[in-house]
Structure 1
Amino acid sequence: MSTLKGKVALVTGGSRGIGAAIARRLAREGAAVAITYAASPAKAAEVVHAIEAAGGRAVAIRADSSDVEAVRSAVAQTVKTLGRLDVLVNNAGVAAITPIDQVSLEEFDRLMAVNVRGLFVATQEAVRHMGEGGRIINIGSVSGDVALAPGMAVYGATKGAVAGLTRGWARDLGARGITVNNVQPGPVDTDMNPADGPLATQFKGQIAVQRYGHADEVASLVAYLAGPEGAFVSGASLNIDGGFTA
């Protein structure tokens, strides 16, 4: 596959889970890939090694998405190391399930810093380097549309903000030939929300196809949006949730 041959992609939070699957898939499509990580250097190295072993080109950059300067530096390092930037996948995110009367301001600020401000900063920096055909792909959540469980209000608010930014940026950047989209996974089997975790029984009962999603399935949708066939999709929030919100 070579739909992204000659392109460069940056995937934030690309050391594990959905982000790692996206990085590997974009590399399979021919892109050189940079990933950021905050606290998993070994996992990041595994992703880079897998891509290189398959004949691709990859680099891992340490950057906590709550750190504005680190995010800006990650974009700059991607361009310096790989030569350009065509695709930004804003995947880095944190989650918390905490009742409203127990949410600390520190937790609130952390979710907003990573899920919203970090995404904003990465996008602002990335578009300075993108030309026509550029792609911004945000990884949101169906939590931006529906309240999945008690205690998820703040997380859901951050993902609702991602959907709003996506629509606005699609307008801002459309004339420059840059598309902006929001992929909204439902329950996906990852470290953050394992298929045998504490919420699994509740969630599986709500999923029309009666199973959790796989990270590679989310990566497939991202690859479509990043490639030439996704050129006329912009400003969309696309649910990939097995009918969870049907």
Structure 2
Amino acid sequence: MVRKIANYIRNFIRYVKKGGLVEVHVSQISQGSILKDKKVLVTGGSSGFGYAIAEKFLKEGALVIITGRNAEKLKGAESNLKKIDKDRIHSLVWDLNNMEEMPSSFHRALQIYNGIDIFVNNAGVWSAPMYPDYTPDEYDRIMNTNLKGLFFMMQEEGRYMETQGIRGKIINITSICGRIPSFDFYNASKHGADCITMGLARKLASKGIIINGIAPGIALTDINIALKNRYSHDDNEFCAVHPTDRFVRVEEVAELATFFSFGCRQ
């Protein structure tokens, strides 16, 4: 009884301090190695959604490559993932903004496992400035990664799968912001990401290449660290500015990505 009363008091204090209280428990289901020996590339795989997806795919038996721009952060993520299976995870330093290196980096990725069946395009950046303080340089930084980099990465992926006759999967991690009108770099980039995701999906569906997009809401990732510090505390995942009153968990997105990956075949 004393423990129960103490828990009520603690929760009341958390509610008062943050304006709400939400506890989230995500049950990840083992699918019985449904991705066994499937070769997967996850961009932006050193943290957030990308890391969670790489982790889940490894547990389902996939051979995974994670990419990122920060070599130190990427190696740290690879080291942690090796605890699951040291022989099925590799990392590749890759800046998607560099158009000149796109073909060679793509070729290096293919050589690691002698091909790729599933591409998860997760790399993305966020913009902090607000109207009317935008600058052309900040616009280019956001668009070059979230839209231009994604566009040409998808072109490489689609061309590769078509020429090799691979009936594979492409999964783009976009954002709910792509569905919200806003005078904002980030929202505009995600509107574009939704557009090209649906566009290439229509173009390649007849080839047996299935493309899907996942558009999460406000999630517990590095991009939203300021909101997390403002609303969340310990295991309280309340978020006042989200329609569900809570943050999205990266594990939830990883589960959906696994569902979209199932059934790919050559």
TM-score w.r.t. structure 2 length?
A: 0.77
Q: Following TM superposition, by how much is the alpha carbon of 1:81 offset from its aligned partner in structure 2, in angstroms?
A: 1.1
Q: How does 1:1-246 map to 2 (within 5 A)?
A: 1-39=32-70, 41-55=71-85, 56-130=87-161, 131-147=165-181, 153-194=184-225, 196-198=228-230, 204-228=239-263
Partner letter of residue 82 of structure 1?
A: Y
Partner SS, residue 84 of structure 1: coil
CA–CA distance in 2 between the matches of 1:224 and 1:74?
Answer: 28
Partner SS, residue 35 of structure 1: strand
CA–CA distance in 1 between the matches of 2:118 and 2:159?
Answer: 12
Partner SS, residue 41 of structure 2: strand
Partner letter of residue 138 of structure 1?
A: N
Relative to 1, partners in 2 of residues 1:208 and 1:153: Cα closer, same or farther, differing over 3 Å? Answer: closer
- 1:121-170 alpha-carbon deviations (Å, 9 max, x no partner): 211112233234311111110000115xx7x6111010000111111101
RCO comparison, higher one (Cα < 8 Å, 6+): 2
Partner letter of residue 168 of structure 2?
A: G
In structure 1, runs of 5+ residues without a counterpart are 232-246
CA–CA distance in 2 between the matches of 1:142 and 1:209?
Answer: 13
Q: Following TM superposition, by how much is the alpha carbon of 1:200 offset from its aligned partner in structure 2, in angstroms?
A: 6.7
- 1:187-246 alpha-carbon deviations (Å, 9 max, x no partner): 111111035235779x92243443211111111111111112x99xxxxxxxxxxxxxxx
Contact residue 74 and residue 93 of structure 2 kept, 8 A:
no
RMSD, matched Cα? 2.3
Matched-pair identity in %: 33
Contact residue 141 and residue 185 of structure 1 kept, 8 A:
yes
Relative to 1, partners in 2 of residues 1:68 and 1:198: Cα closer, same or farther, differing over 3 Å? Answer: farther
Partner SS, residue 33 of structure 1: strand
CA–CA distance in 2 between the matches of 1:85 and 1:91?
Answer: 16
Contact residue 90 and residue 119 of structure 1 kept, 8 A:
yes
Partner SS, residue 132 of structure 2: helix
In structure 2, runs of 5+ residues without a counterpart are 1-31
CA–CA distance in 2 between the matches of 1:72 and 1:110?
Answer: 21
Correspondence for 1:235: none
Partner letter of residue 47 of structure 1?
A: A
Contact residue 84 and residue 129 of structure 1 kept, 8 A:
no
Relative to 1, partners in 2 of residues 1:70 and 1:198: Cα closer, same or farther, differing over 3 Å? Answer: farther
Partner SS, residue 34 of structure 1: strand
- Worse-matched range after superposition: 190-199 or 217-226: 190-199
Q: Following TM superposition, by how much is the alpha carbon of 1:52 offset from its aligned partner in structure 2, in angstroms?
A: 2.7
Query: Which has the greater radius of gyration?
Result: 2
Relative to 1, partners in 2 of residues 1:164 and 1:30: Cα closer, same or farther, differing over 3 Å? Answer: same
CA–CA distance in 2 between the matches of 1:164 and 1:205?
Answer: 29
CA–CA distance in 1 between the matches of 2:92 and 2:246?
Answer: 34
Matched residue count: 225
